[in-house]
Structure 1
Amino acid sequence: MKTISFAVPCYNSAAYMDKCIESLLACGDDIEIIIVDDGSTKDDTPQKADAWQEAHPGIIRAIHQENGGHGAAVNTGLAAAEGLYFKVVDSDDWLDENAMRQVMAYLRSQLERDHATDLVIGNYVYEKVHEGTRTVMGYFNVFPTEEEFGWKDVKHFRQSQYLLMHSAIYRTELLRETGLKLPEHCFYVDNIFVYVPLPFVDTMRYLDVDMYRYFIGREDQSVNESVMMGRIDQQLRITRFMIDAVRLPDDVVEPKLRRYMLNYLSMMMCICSIFCRMIGTLEADEKRHAIWEYLKENNPGAYGAVRRSALNVGTNLPGELGRSLGISGYHLAQKVFKFN
């Protein structure tokens, strides 16, 4: 068995995919890299994927499919994965070689265990290459650092701290057991990936190393502010999926996990509200009201806590004052936490 399967969704990624793949190859020979060419037509991504497979048989596989979006590419990678663990690495990002030595050593130690750790967590780094800056997002204040642990051992997450696809390495069979299938033709599916499986996770291990390097700054990037406004319907779609997938508090027994998932859902609702208010049209405001009504009707146990959360109290104040306060709060958070 391979220690880990890396899925690399690629869509017209020829200009930057090589750096990503080279960083994965440095992890050793007991890995597999599944390059999923998601219907690329504008460059030579398909040819590059095939060339990588030819150069590294037994390690790299190239899979070509019709365009289905990031979620479809992750689904394909998971279906094909043969490793004990599974990690998604976007084609414009990369993994740090020194950090991965420690991560791989731990993953290898799980191969002979009857019950391998469900979720392995590392830090991620916002790499604003064009600005020459980086921001490390770590969890040393949240998780024990020297042992396997469960949700009861988790400390308090700060408002800016969430588990992202960048920081997560799941046990492959756990993901399959959840029946996880991400929506196709939709951005922001990474939120589902690090939210829906959590109630199935019993054991975790945190390594305080800066594992994942998240490139940020391209104009067409999905987290670009203007792009996010243009894709507000997709953000709303993902949030509705999450509302339906886990009923809070009923579906989550562990109190600390329940609190974390409520905070995550609050963050998603805040993003929906803020970007609807940024758009500023009557239609966008109707969409903002509609997503809150959807939460109230479809996940009523979560509605009160999410609505009263610190993220959403000011975000949804009525009138132009409420709109201005919500947008100002978002831009302040941008400066403090250095995202997009």
Structure 2
Amino acid sequence: MKSITFAIPCYNSAAYMDKCIESILACGGDQGCDDIEIVIVDDGSVKDDTAEKADRWEQLHPGIIKAVHQENGGHGQAVNTGLANASGLYFKVVDSDDWLDRRAMEDVMAYVRSQVGRCAPTDLIIANYVYEKVHESTRTIMHYRNVFPEGREFGWSEVGHFNPSQYLLMHSVIYRTELLRGMGLQLPKHTFYVDNIFVYVPLPHVKTIYYLDVDMYRYFIGRDDQSVNESVMMSRIDQQLRVTRIMIDAVQLPGDVPEKRLERYMENYLSMMMCICSIFLRMINTVDAEDERDAIWRYLKENNSDVYRRVRHSVLNMGTNLPTNLGRKIGITGYHVAQRIFKFN
């Protein structure tokens, strides 16, 4: 068995995928350990030579790199394909325009390798990620040292308080592969923002966690066509709404969550998702957008009325859903202030 599978969803990624792949190959160490696996998923690329590059990488590193080609199915389907082809004990998604830090990965890989052969390997490994705003020459480190114990395995009962800007993102997590398969994780096709489903829905199945305070993942921010670009998010608001509904349906709070601290975190995460839906619909500022905003809140109320009451009246969502045009402006201004303070997107 491989110690870990890295899945790289690639769609017209020829301009930057090499840096990503090279950073993952370095996880083999100076000795070139062959216990890692890289699954490059070519998601129906047609505008460049992504497919050919994937095949060349496989030829250069047989037994380590596997190129898989599929009809275009979107980021979620590429992750599904990566998981279906994974043979590693652990599974890590690395987007093709991002990369891994070599020094940090030495520590991460040491722990990953220590779990191979254990009767009950750790379910979830967490490390820090870094927003790399390349065009601004700035970076912001997102850590969890105030939330998680370090240097030992622990459970949800030992987790501390997450600050407003601290969420587990796809960038920071490494799941045990069979945990994801055992729960039947499947991400929707042709849908952006599915990373929220990936990092949220498996959490109630996680019993053991290990945190490393190292800056593992470098998250590139700055391309105009990037899914987290503000104008792009407004144009894809239907997909943000779809992902949020899937999350509401997938985990029934609190019944599906075994531990109070995890329940509180997941409720806060859902509150953040509802806030994003609300604020971008208010930015669109049309009658249809207001109808959609009412509809997503109604969906939450109909499917989990207790969570609806708490989330709707949270500080986060009271500010973003104030009535009247003035309330809309206040909510959008608050969002942009938070964006500057917490350095997201």
Question: Shared fold (TM-score greater than 0.5)?
Answer: yes
Could you say which residue in structure 2 is the equivalent of 1:5?
5
Q: The residue matched to 2:18 in structure 1 has which SS?
A: helix
- Deviating beyond 3 angstroms after TM superposition, the runs of 4 or more aligned structure 1 residues are none
8 Å contact 1:17–1:92 — kept in the other structure?
Answer: yes
Q: Deviations over 1:31-63 (max 9, x none)?
A: 000000000000000000000000000000000
Q: Deviations over 1:138-164 (max 9, x none)?
A: 000000011100000000000110000
For residue 199 of structure 1, the aligned residue among 199, 204, 224 is 204
Q: The residue matched to 1:26 in structure 2 has which SS?
A: helix
Q: The residue matched to 1:210 in structure 2 has which SS?
A: strand
Q: Distance in 2 between matches of 1:161 and 1:54?
A: 40
Could you say which residue in structure 2 is the equivalent of 1:113?
118
- The Cα shift of 1:178 comes to 1.0
- The Cα shift of 1:253 comes to 2.1
- The Cα shift of 1:333 comes to 1.1
Could you say which residue in structure 2 is the equivalent of 1:153?
158
The alignment-based identity, stated in percent, is 74
Could you say which residue in structure 1 is the equivalent of 2:311?
306
What value does the CA root-mean-square deviation take over the aligned residues? 0.6
- The Cα shift of 1:301 comes to 2.9
* 2:127 is the alignment partner of 1:128: no
Q: Distance in 2 between matches of 1:69 and 1:167?
A: 21
Q: Distance in 2 between matches of 1:210 and 1:282?
A: 44
8 Å contact 1:249–1:301 — kept in the other structure?
Answer: no
Q: Where does the alignment leave 5 or more consecutive residues of structure 1 unmatched?
A: none
Q: The residue matched to 2:40 in structure 1 has which SS?
A: strand
The aligned runs of 1:44-123 (5 Å cut-off) are: 44-123=49-128
For residue 340 of structure 2, the aligned residue among 329, 335, 338 is 335
* 2:26 is the alignment partner of 1:26: yes
Q: Deviations over 1:9-45 (max 9, x none)?
A: 0000000000000000000121000000000000000
Q: The residue matched to 1:192 in structure 2 has which SS?
A: helix
Give the residue type in structure 1 aligned to 2:2. K
8 Å contact 1:247–1:302 — kept in the other structure?
Answer: no
- The Cα shift of 1:192 comes to 0.2
Report the more deviating stretch, 300-309 or 161-170: 300-309
Give the residue type in structure 1 aligned to 2:138. T
Could you say which residue in structure 2 is the equivalent of 1:315?
320
- The Cα shift of 1:296 comes to 0.4
The aligned runs of 1:212-223 (5 Å cut-off) are: 212-223=217-228
Q: Distance in 2 between matches of 1:42 and 1:228?
A: 23
For residue 143 of structure 2, the aligned residue among 115, 118, 138 is 138
Q: Deviations over 1:107-150 (max 9, x none)?
A: 00000210000000000000001111000000000000111000
* 2:293 is the alignment partner of 1:288: yes
Could you say which residue in structure 2 is the equivalent of 1:326?
331
Q: The residue matched to 2:341 in structure 1 has which SS?
A: helix
Q: Distance in 1 between matches of 2:265 and 2:182?
A: 22
Could you say which residue in structure 1 is the equivalent of 2:31?
none
TM norm structure 2: 0.98
Q: Distance in 2 between matches of 1:165 and 1:34?
A: 17
Query: How many residues were matched structurally?
Result: 340
Could you say which residue in structure 2 is the equivalent of 1:186?
191
Could you say which residue in structure 1 is the equivalent of 2:229?
224
Give the residue type in structure 1 aligned to 2:219. Y
Q: Distance in 1 between matches of 2:316 and 2:244?
A: 16
Could you say which residue in structure 1 is the equivalent of 2:264?
259
Q: The residue matched to 2:316 in structure 1 has which SS?
A: helix
Q: Distance in 2 between matches of 1:77 and 1:146?
A: 30
Q: Distance in 2 between matches of 1:91 and 1:271?
A: 25
Q: The residue matched to 1:33 in structure 2 has which SS?
A: strand
Report the more deviating stretch, 215-224 or 294-303: 294-303
Give the residue type in structure 1 aligned to 2:196. N
Could you say which residue in structure 1 is the equivalent of 2:16?
16
Q: Distance in 1 between matches of 2:251 and 2:237?
A: 22
8 Å contact 1:117–1:171 — kept in the other structure?
Answer: yes
Q: Distance in 2 between matches of 1:170 and 1:57?
A: 25
8 Å contact 1:247–1:301 — kept in the other structure?
Answer: no
- The Cα shift of 1:305 comes to 1.2
Give the residue type in structure 2 aligned to 1:19. K
Q: Distance in 2 between matches of 1:318 and 1:232?
A: 21
Q: Where does the alignment leave 5 or more consecutive residues of structure 2 unmatched?
A: 29-33
The aligned runs of 1:234-249 (5 Å cut-off) are: 234-249=239-254
